[in-house]
Amino acid sequence: MEKPNCFSWNTIIRTFAKDSVNDHSHDALFFFSQMVADGFVGPNKFTFLFVLKACAKMGNLEYEVQNQKKQSVCRHHAEQGSAFKFH
């Protein structure tokens, strides 16, 4: 794919995260990292659900999902021109 959209990335990540026969959770996280690194499209709420599933299967809930989500939310609000307040 030249420039995959969010649906394309989510499909790949979801496929690896949900594989119950072979544990491909690391692959799901790899593709999530690639999605973020590419910068063409940011993760959405579904992306984070799939990544959290992969992290839970690995027993690794300390992955950088929270940081990525904060960056994504900030970017979205900055693009919308609205103020965003962290608590």
pTM greater than 0.85 = no
Q: If pLDDT is split at 50, 70 and 90, which confidence band does 55 have?
A: confident
Q: Which helix (H) or strand (E) holds 48?
A: helix 45-58
Which residue in 16, 18, 20 sits closest to 34, CA to CA? Answer: 16
State the CB neighbour count (10 A cutoff) for residue 13: 27
CB 43 within 8 A of CB 4: no
Q: Which residue has the higher pLDDT, 60 or 35?
A: 35
Q: Would the pLDDT of 84 be above 50? A: no
User: Residue 10 has what pLDDT?
Assistant: 96
Q: Would the pLDDT of 75 be above 80? A: no
Q: State the Cα–Cα distance between residues 51 and 82, nearest whole angstrom.
A: 28
Q: Which residue has the higher pLDDT, 76 or 5?
A: 5
Q: If pLDDT is split at 50, 70 and 90, which confidence band does 81 have?
A: very low
Residues with Cβ within 8 Å of 23's Cβ and at least 6 positions away in sequence, in order, are 57, 58
